[in-house]
Structure 1
Amino acid sequence: MKKALCVLLAAMMSASLAACGDKENTGDSGSANSAGKTLRVTWNGDGDNRDKLLSCLEDYQKETGNTVEFTFVAGNWGEYFTKIQTMIAGGESLDCIFAAIEGFQMYVDMGLAMPLTDYAEEHKEEVDELMADVPDGLENTFYIDGVLYGFPQAYNTMVTHYNTKEFDAVGLEYPTEGWTTDDLLSMGEKLTRDVDGVKHYAVYVPTSYFELESMVRNFGGAFMTEDFTQATINSPECVAAFQFYQDLIHKYGYAPIPEPNQSSTQMLIDGTVAMQFAGRWPLFDYKANEFKDVGIQNIPVATEDVMQFGIDGMFVSASTKQYEEACDLAFWMSKPEYMKDFLTEGSIPTRLSVAEETVPTLGYPLNAELFYNRSDTAVPVSSPTSYAECSTIVVDAASQIFVEKADVQTVLDDANEKINQALAG
């Protein structure tokens, strides 16, 4: 199946490609002019950051004379990657693809991305300067089989967010470095209570693929082997992690049952949960709600202390007819000036110098440096070619365990079998 899709995509890309797209989901940085070219870029999201993106690209347009046309694809990363495959297989010509690590391997395996080797050699000084400012662990994710395929832009690490007022209200100290799952249980007893007839919970359990694997890593587990050939989600370590978070809901009552369209970030802001596990993305909502009573700390340790990251960047599409210009744009979006303008909240700039300068400037959360100060030892989220399918399997399993209170071992045995089938292609 995978091989057949690759053949189809290759055939479609070798044909004459014409740029076409849904006008309702595109944003143009300006009218095309005879002196410049128009570059088409796909971006994950519903376009709510369109104006900011275009504003941050004004200098690029002035410098090059080129314009940028965005096609926004709403949905999670799995849905986004599937849409990209469909667009290219359907004959659409793309120049650059904004991608998260969950799609890196897929883009390369399916021939959707162009190597950047030639461009990097021709612009060695500039590319070397960029990579020297990016922690090695982050940089390495853009090399597939030793070949450079993308330029790093932003990343997220998983941390614990806590509402300081909730802790203050019950006389608890804030979580400290090296805190444990036992500490979480102890805190949960005090933080979970009724306040004026409203239930306040200690914590919101993780529900997404990225969040969930971050949790199991601190129990010594992972969803699959590092080479993505064998599922390990039913290992004793993973079972222990899922059992712990199920117990937070159904045994101790310290966490609410997750519900569709329920925002753990809004609950943290409102104080109806005291803690949630997330990256830097809640800062969009914190800022919009003028919520500053928040701090962060590492994920609680069960048996190991591991920080996991997800990362994104710009890839050059294999369907582009403007390789040099596409590479220029992809690289330009890794420059310090762009990162400082665009990554004010939501994600962490991959350039360490920019992260150190900009992340603390908001003044919150407490311990903001924890977002980036372990990036040199952090590990990447498991991101196989079949990520979209694997993600669905994991999230469905978590729903059975957390919502339906299903037997953890039974559910994870079934998930393990399904993931192995997905990895086998």
Structure 2
Amino acid sequence: MKLKRMMAVSLVAAMGLTMLSACGNSSSGDSAASSSGESSTLNVKIWDSTQLEGIRQICDEWSAQSGVDVQVEVVNWDNYWTLLEAGASGGQMPDVFWMHSNNSQRYMDAKLLLDLNDYIDADESIDMNNYYADIVDLYTQDDGTHYAIPKDYDTVALWYNKDMFDAAGVEYPTNDWTWEDLYEAGKALTKDGKYGMAMDTDLNQEGYYNIVYSYGGYIINDDKTESGWDDPKTVEAMEMWGKIVKDCMPPQSMMSESGEIDMFTSQVTAMQLMGSWRVAALQEYDCNWGVVNIPYHDANGNGQCDAGERVSIYNGLGWAAAASTANPDAAYSLISYLCSEAGQVKQAELGVTMSAYMGTSDTWVDARADKWDLSPYLNVTEGTDKMVIYPYSRASIWAENAKQELVPAYNDPSIMADTLKTMAVNMENELQAEQK
């Protein structure tokens, strides 16, 4: 029902935008400021407050050059999409905003986003080949229309608390750890009110997706038509993940109440799988932490990481503009500035997050070198390691449902295989509904 309602909203919005494009969105020209004078300010929305300072600084630099003011506002994740949906239904969408793979297809289908093709073709500072192709594809329609330019990319690494390892007499993690190593250390650390690690059931990118692909399983096929939940290798991986949850983590009730990051920063848990986007929020803590590569699955049993055995799920946001913006030229000019090589280097230097422009994220590692060695986030892009784009489909309702469907199996790992079979059926029903 939710999917059909959202599709209906998008269709209504698309009809409204057709009229807007014909009547009120005709400004064009060489300057960033609207030639009609309709707007000298761009409204920008993001959802991560830890990135606000850096994003605002880059926008201010653009404003100084363009003469167009930028107002950057943070709206938390849930309210962010509510706000965009309300704008799509007849309200006012932001001029420029972040787009995510979970929602991009619906917004592109409904033509709610500004078509960037002509702008990109005329822009010497933007070449889409400079960004990871998977992330470019997230925001590109099958006909080749680009509706966003990649802002960043993210990978996953393992953080650990050195003091807690020392107190438990357990050796520190290394860059060559397997998932089995993580499990054994996690068990040893789980005692006296302390735990090996924690995981919120919402954390698929930072959690179980990685181990599934590491074991050779999958979540969704390339055509977005079939579920991989019941694939034998997926089942094997999730049974291992179920053991980690059961033997190395706090009770589910405790994790849902306290939050996995809070437990890690307060030294209740000794390890945490964390996406690179979280690093900016950790800067305020003065803890004795280390960072290593995400573990791998030694499928060949040879004690070394072979091709495809270490996997990090990765994703990336895109900078998009509303098709209804009164100032499309300025909106694109700002996006171009943010996504150009110079803008991406600046984003990395400020420690905002890793940059989507390939080859510029070394400066992000350097920005935090006084506290941590963040090179494990970049290591997974090299050698035999593998990055897998975050599994998604047109609406990805199945991904949200899976988070709760897995909870009984976390409490009783013996039912994991049966749970995954049921999830596969449910997911394929949802995928079929997306096509209607």
TM-score normalised per structure 2: 0.80
- Which of the residues 328, 332, 339 maps onto 2:333? 328
Aligned counterpart, 2:13: 9
In the alignment, the residues of structure 2 paired with residue 256 and residue 385 of structure 1 have an alpha-carbon distance, to the nearest angstrom, of 34
In the alignment, the residues of structure 1 paired with residue 416 and residue 369 of structure 2 have an alpha-carbon distance, to the nearest angstrom, of 41
In the alignment, the residues of structure 2 paired with residue 372 and residue 102 of structure 1 have an alpha-carbon distance, to the nearest angstrom, of 24
SS in 2 for 1:193: coil
- Which of the residues 380, 383, 392 maps onto 2:400? 392
Amino acid at match of 2:204: Y
SS in 2 for 1:177: coil
In the alignment, the residues of structure 1 paired with residue 134 and residue 103 of structure 2 have an alpha-carbon distance, to the nearest angstrom, of 17
- Which of the residues 356, 359, 370 maps onto 1:350? 356
Deviates more, 1:66-75 or 1:158-167: 66-75
Matches within 5 A, 1:20-419: 37-45=40-48, 50-70=52-72, 72-76=74-78, 80-81=80-81, 83-123=83-123, 125-128=124-127, 131=128, 133-145=130-142, 146-194=144-192, 199-205=193-199, 207=201, 208-211=203-206, 212-250=208-246, 253-258=247-252, 259-301=255-297, 303=299, 304-343=309-348, 344-345=350-351, 347-363=353-369, 367-375=373-381, 377-387=386-396, 389-403=397-411, 407-419=415-427
Deviations 1:359-396 (Å, cap 9, x if unpaired)? 23312665411212333751210121212x22321211
Are the counterparts in 2 of residues 39 and 326 from structure 1 also a CA contact under 8 Å? Answer: yes
Aligned counterpart, 2:304: none
Deviates more, 1:306-315 or 1:370-379: 370-379
RMSD of equivalent CA atoms: 3.1
Between structures 1 and 2, the one with greater strand share: 1
In the alignment, the residues of structure 2 paired with residue 368 and residue 243 of structure 1 have an alpha-carbon distance, to the nearest angstrom, of 30
In the alignment, the residues of structure 2 paired with residue 94 and residue 117 of structure 1 have an alpha-carbon distance, to the nearest angstrom, of 20
Deviations 1:102-133 (Å, cap 9, x if unpaired)? 3332322232223321011111x2112xx454
Aligned residues: 399
Identical counterparts, % of pairs: 20
In the alignment, the residues of structure 2 paired with residue 136 and residue 260 of structure 1 have an alpha-carbon distance, to the nearest angstrom, of 35
In the alignment, the residues of structure 2 paired with residue 89 and residue 320 of structure 1 have an alpha-carbon distance, to the nearest angstrom, of 15
SS in 2 for 1:176: coil
Shift of 1:328: 0.9
**Pair 161,255 (structure 1): closer, same or farther in 2 beyond 3 Å:** same
Are the counterparts in 1 of residues 242 and 410 from structure 2 also a CA contact under 8 Å? Answer: yes
Deviates more, 1:336-345 or 1:311-320: 336-345
Deviates more, 1:361-370 or 1:322-331: 361-370
In the alignment, the residues of structure 2 paired with residue 274 and residue 90 of structure 1 have an alpha-carbon distance, to the nearest angstrom, of 48
Are the counterparts in 1 of residues 39 and 326 from structure 2 also a CA contact under 8 Å? Answer: no
Amino acid at match of 2:125: E
**Pair 220,86 (structure 1): closer, same or farther in 2 beyond 3 Å:** farther
TM-score normalised per structure 1: 0.82
Unmatched 5+ residue regions in structure 2? 25-35, 300-308
Amino acid at match of 1:190: A
Deviations 1:219-259 (Å, cap 9, x if unpaired)? 22222112212222232223223322222243xx3221232
Unmatched 5+ residue regions in structure 1? 20-32
Are the counterparts in 2 of residues 158 and 299 from structure 1 also a CA contact under 8 Å? Answer: no
Amino acid at match of 1:415: M
Are the counterparts in 1 of residues 150 and 356 from structure 2 also a CA contact under 8 Å? Answer: yes
In the alignment, the residues of structure 1 paired with residue 370 and residue 189 of structure 2 have an alpha-carbon distance, to the nearest angstrom, of 22
Are the counterparts in 1 of residues 38 and 327 from structure 2 also a CA contact under 8 Å? Answer: no
In the alignment, the residues of structure 1 paired with residue 289 and residue 417 of structure 2 have an alpha-carbon distance, to the nearest angstrom, of 38
Shift of 1:37: 2.0
In the alignment, the residues of structure 1 paired with residue 425 and residue 113 of structure 2 have an alpha-carbon distance, to the nearest angstrom, of 30
